[in-house]
Amino acid sequence: MLWLFIESILCIAFFILSLILYSNRIKTFKNTIIREPAKRYDKRLKMVGIILVLMIILYYILNIDFYIEKKYMESNGLLGLITINQFFLWFSFIVIGKSSKYLRGEDLIEFYHPSKKEAKAGEIKAGNILYGNKVMYPYYIKLQDLQRHMFITGITGSGKSNFLQNFLIDYKEKYDTPILLAEFKGEYHYLQKFIPDLLIFIVGKNFSINIFDPEKANAEVHAERVFQIFRSGGLFEGVEYSPQMERVFVDILNRVCKDPEKRSWAKFYEEAKAYLKDILLQTGGDMTYRSSVSAVTNRIRRYSLGTLKHSFEKKSGIDVKEMFKHDVLLDLSGIIKIGGEKEDDLFFLNMIL
Protein backbone atom coordinates (compact mmCIF):
# COMPACT_ATOMS: atom_id res chain seq x y z
CA MET A 1 0.00 0.00 0.00
CA LEU A 2 2.81 2.37 -0.89
CA TRP A 3 0.40 4.60 -2.82
CA LEU A 4 -1.65 5.14 0.36
CA PHE A 5 1.41 6.40 2.24
CA ILE A 6 2.22 8.71 -0.68
CA GLU A 7 -1.35 10.00 -0.55
CA SER A 8 -0.89 10.63 3.19
CA ILE A 9 2.24 12.66 2.49
CA LEU A 10 0.34 14.68 -0.12
CA CYS A 11 -2.53 15.37 2.30
CA ILE A 12 -0.12 16.48 5.03
CA ALA A 13 1.75 18.70 2.54
CA PHE A 14 -1.58 20.21 1.44
CA PHE A 15 -2.46 20.89 5.08
CA ILE A 16 0.88 22.62 5.74
CA LEU A 17 0.45 24.69 2.58
CA SER A 18 -3.04 25.79 3.66
CA LEU A 19 -1.61 27.04 6.99
CA ILE A 20 1.12 29.00 5.16
CA LEU A 21 -1.47 30.50 2.80
CA TYR A 22 -3.68 31.46 5.76
CA SER A 23 -0.75 33.10 7.58
CA ASN A 24 0.37 35.01 4.48
CA ARG A 25 -3.10 36.39 3.83
CA ILE A 26 -3.53 37.54 7.44
CA LYS A 27 -0.17 39.31 7.27
CA THR A 28 -1.11 41.00 3.99
CA PHE A 29 -4.53 41.98 5.35
CA LYS A 30 -3.08 43.68 8.43
CA ASN A 31 -0.54 45.62 6.38
CA THR A 32 -3.39 46.82 4.08
CA ILE A 33 -0.76 47.25 1.35
CA ILE A 34 0.24 44.24 -0.73
CA ARG A 35 3.44 44.44 -2.69
CA GLU A 36 4.17 42.54 -5.89
CA PRO A 37 6.37 39.82 -4.29
CA ALA A 38 3.68 39.09 -1.69
CA LYS A 39 1.01 38.80 -4.37
CA ARG A 40 3.21 36.49 -6.47
CA TYR A 41 3.85 34.39 -3.36
CA ASP A 42 0.11 34.00 -2.79
CA LYS A 43 -0.39 32.91 -6.43
CA ARG A 44 2.43 30.38 -6.18
CA LEU A 45 0.96 28.89 -3.02
CA LYS A 46 -2.40 28.51 -4.76
CA MET A 47 -0.77 26.85 -7.77
CA VAL A 48 1.09 24.36 -5.57
CA GLY A 49 -2.16 23.69 -3.69
CA ILE A 50 -4.04 22.98 -6.92
CA ILE A 51 -1.29 20.58 -8.05
CA LEU A 52 -1.40 18.73 -4.71
CA VAL A 53 -5.20 18.41 -4.86
CA LEU A 54 -5.04 17.09 -8.44
CA MET A 55 -2.42 14.53 -7.41
CA ILE A 56 -4.57 13.39 -4.48
CA ILE A 57 -7.59 13.06 -6.79
CA LEU A 58 -5.47 11.17 -9.31
CA TYR A 59 -4.30 8.67 -6.67
CA TYR A 60 -7.91 8.26 -5.56
CA ILE A 61 -9.11 7.56 -9.12
CA LEU A 62 -6.29 5.12 -9.86
CA ASN A 63 -7.17 3.16 -6.73
CA ILE A 64 -10.94 3.58 -6.84
CA ASP A 65 -11.48 -0.18 -6.51
CA PHE A 66 -9.78 -0.12 -3.12
CA TYR A 67 -12.43 2.28 -1.83
CA ILE A 68 -15.41 0.73 -3.63
CA GLU A 69 -14.65 -2.75 -2.32
CA LYS A 70 -13.87 -1.28 1.12
CA LYS A 71 -10.62 -3.21 1.39
CA TYR A 72 -9.45 -0.71 4.01
CA MET A 73 -11.93 -2.33 6.42
CA GLU A 74 -9.67 -5.42 6.52
CA SER A 75 -7.06 -3.61 8.55
CA ASN A 76 -7.37 -1.16 11.43
CA GLY A 77 -4.06 0.38 10.34
CA LEU A 78 -5.35 1.15 6.86
CA LEU A 79 -8.63 2.49 8.23
CA GLY A 80 -6.76 4.78 10.62
CA LEU A 81 -4.47 6.04 7.84
CA ILE A 82 -7.40 6.81 5.57
CA THR A 83 -9.16 8.61 8.43
CA ILE A 84 -6.06 10.75 9.04
CA ASN A 85 -5.78 11.52 5.31
CA GLN A 86 -9.39 12.66 5.18
CA PHE A 87 -8.93 14.76 8.31
CA PHE A 88 -5.94 16.62 6.86
CA LEU A 89 -7.65 17.02 3.49
CA TRP A 90 -10.95 18.43 4.75
CA PHE A 91 -9.36 20.55 7.47
CA SER A 92 -7.11 22.06 4.79
CA PHE A 93 -10.16 23.10 2.77
CA ILE A 94 -11.67 24.68 5.91
CA VAL A 95 -8.47 26.67 6.56
CA ILE A 96 -8.32 27.87 2.93
CA GLY A 97 -11.99 28.86 3.12
CA LYS A 98 -11.35 30.84 6.29
CA SER A 99 -8.39 32.60 4.67
CA SER A 100 -10.58 33.93 1.86
CA LYS A 101 -12.09 36.56 4.18
CA TYR A 102 -8.63 38.14 4.42
CA LEU A 103 -8.47 38.72 0.67
CA ARG A 104 -8.60 42.45 -0.02
CA GLY A 105 -11.00 43.80 -2.62
CA GLU A 106 -11.56 47.37 -3.82
CA ASP A 107 -9.96 48.87 -0.71
CA LEU A 108 -6.63 47.22 -1.51
CA ILE A 109 -3.81 49.50 -2.58
CA GLU A 110 -1.49 47.54 -4.82
CA PHE A 111 2.03 48.98 -4.89
CA TYR A 112 4.36 47.48 -7.44
CA HIS A 113 7.98 48.49 -7.08
CA PRO A 114 9.60 49.66 -10.34
CA SER A 115 12.44 47.77 -11.93
CA LYS A 116 16.00 48.92 -11.33
CA LYS A 117 16.07 50.42 -14.83
CA GLU A 118 12.82 52.33 -14.27
CA ALA A 119 13.97 53.56 -10.87
CA LYS A 120 17.06 55.19 -12.35
CA ALA A 121 15.24 56.88 -15.24
CA GLY A 122 14.46 60.08 -13.32
CA GLU A 123 16.49 63.15 -12.40
CA ILE A 124 15.49 63.85 -8.77
CA LYS A 125 16.32 61.33 -6.08
CA ALA A 126 13.31 60.59 -3.91
CA GLY A 127 14.77 57.84 -1.74
CA ASN A 128 15.27 54.08 -1.93
CA ILE A 129 13.09 51.15 -2.92
CA LEU A 130 12.64 48.90 0.10
CA TYR A 131 11.46 45.35 0.49
CA GLY A 132 10.81 44.84 4.16
CA ASN A 133 13.84 46.39 5.83
CA LYS A 134 16.13 45.65 2.90
CA VAL A 135 17.32 48.52 0.71
CA MET A 136 17.08 47.35 -2.90
CA TYR A 137 18.16 50.36 -5.00
CA PRO A 138 17.65 54.18 -5.21
CA TYR A 139 14.61 55.69 -6.89
CA TYR A 140 14.60 58.89 -8.98
CA ILE A 141 11.50 60.89 -9.96
CA LYS A 142 11.24 62.22 -13.49
CA LEU A 143 10.97 65.98 -13.72
CA GLN A 144 7.80 65.81 -15.82
CA ASP A 145 6.17 63.57 -13.20
CA LEU A 146 6.06 66.55 -10.82
CA GLN A 147 3.12 67.80 -12.87
CA ARG A 148 1.12 64.91 -11.44
CA HIS A 149 -0.32 64.46 -7.96
CA MET A 150 1.93 62.84 -5.37
CA PHE A 151 0.50 60.85 -2.47
CA ILE A 152 2.78 60.70 0.58
CA THR A 153 1.41 58.39 3.24
CA GLY A 154 2.54 56.75 6.46
CA ILE A 155 1.77 56.50 10.16
CA THR A 156 2.59 59.33 12.56
CA GLY A 157 6.34 59.71 12.94
CA SER A 158 7.19 57.68 9.83
CA GLY A 159 8.93 60.63 8.16
CA LYS A 160 6.40 62.14 5.74
CA SER A 161 7.34 65.74 6.60
CA ASN A 162 11.07 64.98 6.59
CA PHE A 163 10.77 63.40 3.17
CA LEU A 164 8.99 66.43 1.74
CA GLN A 165 11.45 68.86 3.30
CA ASN A 166 14.50 67.00 2.01
CA PHE A 167 12.89 66.55 -1.38
CA LEU A 168 12.29 70.30 -1.73
CA ILE A 169 15.84 71.10 -0.62
CA ASP A 170 17.30 68.65 -3.18
CA TYR A 171 15.01 70.01 -5.87
CA LYS A 172 16.00 73.64 -5.30
CA GLU A 173 19.68 72.73 -5.44
CA LYS A 174 19.20 71.59 -9.05
CA TYR A 175 16.39 73.73 -10.45
CA ASP A 176 15.32 77.38 -10.37
CA THR A 177 11.60 76.72 -10.85
CA PRO A 178 9.66 78.53 -8.07
CA ILE A 179 7.87 76.42 -5.47
CA LEU A 180 4.75 77.12 -3.42
CA LEU A 181 4.41 75.14 -0.19
CA ALA A 182 1.14 75.53 1.70
CA GLU A 183 1.14 74.10 5.20
CA PHE A 184 -1.24 74.04 8.14
CA LYS A 185 1.02 73.64 11.19
CA GLY A 186 3.87 76.12 10.79
CA GLU A 187 6.54 73.41 10.87
CA TYR A 188 8.42 74.18 7.64
CA HIS A 189 9.86 77.62 8.52
CA TYR A 190 13.36 76.22 8.95
CA LEU A 191 13.47 75.59 5.18
CA GLN A 192 14.51 79.22 4.86
CA LYS A 193 17.97 78.18 6.09
CA PHE A 194 18.37 75.89 3.08
CA ILE A 195 16.38 77.91 0.53
CA PRO A 196 17.68 81.46 1.15
CA ASP A 197 15.18 83.22 -1.16
CA LEU A 198 12.17 81.50 0.40
CA LEU A 199 9.43 83.99 1.29
CA ILE A 200 7.32 83.08 4.32
CA PHE A 201 3.77 84.41 4.38
CA ILE A 202 1.73 83.83 7.53
CA VAL A 203 -1.96 84.29 6.84
CA GLY A 204 -3.50 86.79 9.23
CA LYS A 205 -0.11 88.20 10.19
CA ASN A 206 1.84 89.40 7.16
CA PHE A 207 -0.37 88.11 4.37
CA SER A 208 -4.05 88.46 3.51
CA ILE A 209 -6.22 88.67 0.41
CA ASN A 210 -9.24 90.62 -0.73
CA ILE A 211 -11.60 87.99 -2.08
CA PHE A 212 -13.49 90.66 -4.04
CA ASP A 213 -10.43 91.81 -6.00
CA PRO A 214 -10.22 90.03 -9.40
CA GLU A 215 -6.62 91.24 -9.88
CA LYS A 216 -6.95 92.16 -13.58
CA ALA A 217 -9.16 89.14 -14.30
CA ASN A 218 -12.71 89.50 -15.58
CA ALA A 219 -14.84 90.65 -12.63
CA GLU A 220 -17.86 88.51 -13.57
CA VAL A 221 -15.73 85.38 -13.98
CA HIS A 222 -14.06 86.12 -10.65
CA ALA A 223 -17.44 86.60 -8.93
CA GLU A 224 -18.61 83.23 -10.25
CA ARG A 225 -15.38 81.61 -9.06
CA VAL A 226 -15.75 83.09 -5.57
CA PHE A 227 -19.29 81.73 -5.41
CA GLN A 228 -18.15 78.25 -6.49
CA ILE A 229 -15.43 78.24 -3.81
CA PHE A 230 -17.96 79.27 -1.16
CA ARG A 231 -20.34 76.54 -2.28
CA SER A 232 -17.67 73.81 -2.43
CA GLY A 233 -16.64 74.83 1.09
CA GLY A 234 -20.09 73.94 2.41
CA LEU A 235 -21.41 77.48 2.72
CA PHE A 236 -24.98 76.39 2.05
CA GLU A 237 -25.00 73.24 4.14
CA GLY A 238 -27.99 73.14 6.46
CA VAL A 239 -30.11 75.50 4.34
CA GLU A 240 -32.57 74.83 1.54
CA TYR A 241 -30.35 75.76 -1.39
CA SER A 242 -32.08 77.05 -4.54
CA PRO A 243 -31.07 78.41 -7.97
CA GLN A 244 -32.52 81.74 -6.86
CA MET A 245 -30.10 81.86 -3.94
CA GLU A 246 -27.21 81.23 -6.32
CA ARG A 247 -28.37 84.04 -8.61
CA VAL A 248 -28.72 86.45 -5.67
CA PHE A 249 -25.23 85.69 -4.36
CA VAL A 250 -23.55 85.93 -7.78
CA ASP A 251 -25.39 89.17 -8.63
CA ILE A 252 -24.26 90.82 -5.40
CA LEU A 253 -20.70 89.59 -5.90
CA ASN A 254 -20.73 91.01 -9.42
CA ARG A 255 -21.70 94.44 -8.12
CA VAL A 256 -18.95 94.38 -5.51
CA CYS A 257 -16.16 92.93 -7.65
CA LYS A 258 -16.71 95.31 -10.58
CA ASP A 259 -16.25 98.49 -8.54
CA PRO A 260 -12.86 98.94 -6.78
CA GLU A 261 -14.57 101.27 -4.28
CA LYS A 262 -16.96 98.54 -3.18
CA ARG A 263 -14.51 95.68 -2.56
CA SER A 264 -15.07 95.31 1.18
CA TRP A 265 -17.41 93.46 3.49
CA ALA A 266 -19.14 96.69 4.54
CA LYS A 267 -19.90 97.52 0.92
CA PHE A 268 -21.00 93.93 0.32
CA TYR A 269 -23.74 94.32 2.92
CA GLU A 270 -24.71 97.70 1.48
CA GLU A 271 -24.96 96.20 -1.98
CA ALA A 272 -27.02 93.32 -0.60
CA LYS A 273 -29.57 95.83 0.75
CA ALA A 274 -29.54 97.81 -2.49
CA TYR A 275 -29.92 94.64 -4.54
CA LEU A 276 -32.89 93.53 -2.45
CA LYS A 277 -34.56 96.90 -2.94
CA ASP A 278 -33.99 96.77 -6.72
CA ILE A 279 -35.13 93.19 -7.16
CA LEU A 280 -38.30 93.75 -5.12
CA LEU A 281 -39.19 96.64 -7.42
CA GLN A 282 -38.49 94.53 -10.50
CA THR A 283 -40.51 91.51 -9.30
CA GLY A 284 -43.39 93.40 -7.78
CA GLY A 285 -42.42 92.58 -4.22
CA ASP A 286 -41.51 88.87 -4.50
CA MET A 287 -40.63 88.15 -0.86
CA THR A 288 -38.74 84.97 -1.68
CA TYR A 289 -35.84 87.21 -2.67
CA ARG A 290 -35.79 88.67 0.83
CA SER A 291 -35.28 85.15 2.20
CA SER A 292 -32.50 84.45 -0.32
CA VAL A 293 -30.62 87.66 0.47
CA SER A 294 -30.99 87.02 4.18
CA ALA A 295 -29.68 83.44 3.81
CA VAL A 296 -26.63 84.62 1.84
CA THR A 297 -25.67 87.40 4.26
CA ASN A 298 -26.14 85.14 7.27
CA ARG A 299 -24.00 82.35 5.81
CA ILE A 300 -21.01 84.57 5.05
CA ARG A 301 -21.15 86.38 8.38
CA ARG A 302 -18.34 84.28 9.88
CA TYR A 303 -15.96 85.50 7.14
CA SER A 304 -16.99 89.13 7.36
CA LEU A 305 -16.97 89.64 11.12
CA GLY A 306 -14.54 89.02 13.94
CA THR A 307 -10.97 87.79 13.63
CA LEU A 308 -11.30 86.34 10.12
CA LYS A 309 -12.46 89.59 8.55
CA HIS A 310 -9.04 91.09 7.77
CA SER A 311 -7.68 87.82 6.34
CA PHE A 312 -10.32 87.87 3.63
CA GLU A 313 -10.77 91.60 3.04
CA LYS A 314 -7.49 93.47 3.34
CA LYS A 315 -5.03 92.92 0.54
CA SER A 316 -1.34 92.65 1.47
CA GLY A 317 1.47 94.23 -0.55
CA ILE A 318 2.15 91.37 -2.97
CA ASP A 319 -0.20 90.29 -5.74
CA VAL A 320 -1.09 86.63 -5.88
CA LYS A 321 0.14 86.34 -9.48
CA GLU A 322 3.44 87.96 -8.47
CA MET A 323 3.74 85.54 -5.57
CA PHE A 324 3.96 82.55 -7.92
CA LYS A 325 7.18 83.96 -9.39
CA HIS A 326 9.03 83.36 -6.08
CA ASP A 327 9.74 80.50 -3.70
CA VAL A 328 6.91 80.84 -1.19
CA LEU A 329 5.94 79.14 2.04
CA LEU A 330 2.29 79.88 2.80
CA ASP A 331 1.67 79.26 6.49
CA LEU A 332 -2.07 78.74 6.98
CA SER A 333 -1.74 78.05 10.70
CA GLY A 334 -2.28 81.78 11.26
CA ILE A 335 -5.98 81.36 10.46
CA ILE A 336 -6.34 78.69 13.13
CA LYS A 337 -4.52 80.88 15.65
CA ILE A 338 -6.95 83.76 15.17
CA GLY A 339 -9.99 81.55 15.68
CA GLY A 340 -10.55 79.98 12.28
CA GLU A 341 -11.07 76.35 11.36
CA LYS A 342 -9.56 73.91 8.87
CA GLU A 343 -12.35 74.73 6.41
CA ASP A 344 -11.25 78.38 6.48
CA ASP A 345 -7.70 77.30 5.63
CA LEU A 346 -8.97 75.38 2.62
CA PHE A 347 -11.17 78.29 1.54
CA PHE A 348 -8.20 80.66 1.68
CA LEU A 349 -6.00 78.22 -0.23
CA ASN A 350 -8.66 77.77 -2.94
CA MET A 351 -8.79 81.53 -3.36
CA ILE A 352 -5.02 81.60 -3.85
CA LEU A 353 -4.92 78.75 -6.35
Task: Inform me whether the pLDDT recorded for 68 exceeds 70.
Answer: no
pLDDT tens per residue, range 319-334: 777 888 889 998 888 8
Which pLDDT score, from 0 to 100, does residue 79 have?
65
Mean pLDDT check: name the lowest of 189-193, 286-290, 300-304. Answer: 300-304
Overall pTM > 0.75: no
pLDDT band for position 100 (cuts 50, 70, 90): confident
Q: Is residue 124 part of a domain?
A: no
Which pLDDT score, from 0 to 100, does residue 78 have?
65
Structural domain span for residue 21 = 2-110
Which pLDDT score, from 0 to 100, does residue 273 have?
92
Q: Is residue 90 part of a domain?
A: yes
Q: Is residue 328 part of a domain?
A: yes
Q: Is residue 175 part of a domain?
A: no
Which pLDDT score, from 0 to 100, does residue 285 have?
75
Which pLDDT score, from 0 to 100, does residue 31 have?
60
Domain boundary among 57, 85, 110: 110
Which pLDDT score, from 0 to 100, does residue 257 have?
92
- Tally of structural domains, the chain: 2
Q: Is residue 151 part of a domain?
A: no
Averaged pLDDT, 102-113: 60
C-alpha–C-alpha distance, residues 139 and 121, integer Å = 8
Task: Inform me whether the pLDDT recorded for 107 exceeds 60.
Answer: no
Q: Is residue 201 part of a domain?
A: no
Task: Inform me whether the pLDDT recorded for 161 exceeds 80.
Answer: yes
Element (H, E) at 91: helix 76-99
Domain boundary among 89, 110, 131: 110
C-alpha–C-alpha distance, residues 210 and 170, integer Å = 35
pLDDT tens per residue, range 138-155: 999 888 888 888 888 888
Domain boundary among 71, 86, 110: 110
pLDDT band for position 287 (cuts 50, 70, 90): confident
pLDDT tens per residue, range 162-206: 888 888 888 888 888 899 998 888 888 889 889 988 999 888 788
Which pLDDT score, from 0 to 100, does residue 256 have?
92
Averaged pLDDT, 43-69: 75
Q: Is residue 204 part of a domain?
A: no
pLDDT band for position 93 (cuts 50, 70, 90): confident
Averaged pLDDT, 220-235: 84
Which of 28-42, 92-106, 142-156, 231-245 tops mean pLDDT?
Answer: 142-156
Which pLDDT score, from 0 to 100, does residue 156 have?
84
Q: Is residue 138 part of a domain?
A: no
